Structure 1
Amino acid sequence: MGRSIPTICGIVLAACVMLAVLWLRAESHLSQLQQEVRYPLDAPLERRAYQAKARSERSSVSEIEAHLFPVTVSFPDRDCVELRPRWGVKGGTSISCFSNETGKLLSHDNIGE
């Protein structure tokens, strides 16, 4: 009984270290697997959405681009760009909608921040 406790503690410690190593490796692989589907025609809207977010955060566009990636959705009357957090970034999303007719910014909302 006296020798089994240190053995069990050693096994548990080794298992914890192995799990930590596997977790870190999996996290780095998952961040590489995050795919962004971006279409060249959406680039002007994405740029404007990044600019709107940067203004609301009082930050630079490049800093916002480093933390968020765009998803563009088109409706009959407007196009909306959702800026979602990249893998490992905590925070909410931002949605900017633009008029199809005038190109004017209709709304910009931060969600879950």
Structure 2
Amino acid sequence: MCIKNTPHISDLSEKLLYIGKVISTFDLEPKRYITAFLQSSHKQIVMNRRLWGADIGWRSTLEVLNSIKYLVCKTKAGQSRWKNYILLEASTLFLLLISDFVLTALYHTDI
């Protein structure tokens, strides 16, 4: 791919529109591109997202998560879906914490 001929674009909206055209030429839409980027095991792509969970990258990761939340929650149906998603995540975390607690308690008792 030749990126040397990429036009100089200063406006962010114009950059986004241009990138959208580029990814659509590869038969991708934005969600599919983002999902593939986040799930890829390709060495260079893994390297590009290495800071997403690190202290140095966490602020911008939260911006991404909050932007998704804002878009999803624009409707009542979206708010309900977001709430259900968060409750499922919280329930999963709670069960993991409880199982860790129980295993630790069993380990320290003489049963």
Is the structural similarity TM-score above 0.5? no
Alignment TM class, shorter chain as reference: under 0.3
Q: Which has the higher strand share?
A: 1
**TM-score normalized by the length of structure 1:** 0.23
Q: Which has the higher helix share?
A: 2
Structure with bigger RCO (C-alpha 8 Å, 6+ apart): 1
Structure ID, larger Rg: 1
**TM-score normalized by the length of structure 2:** 0.23
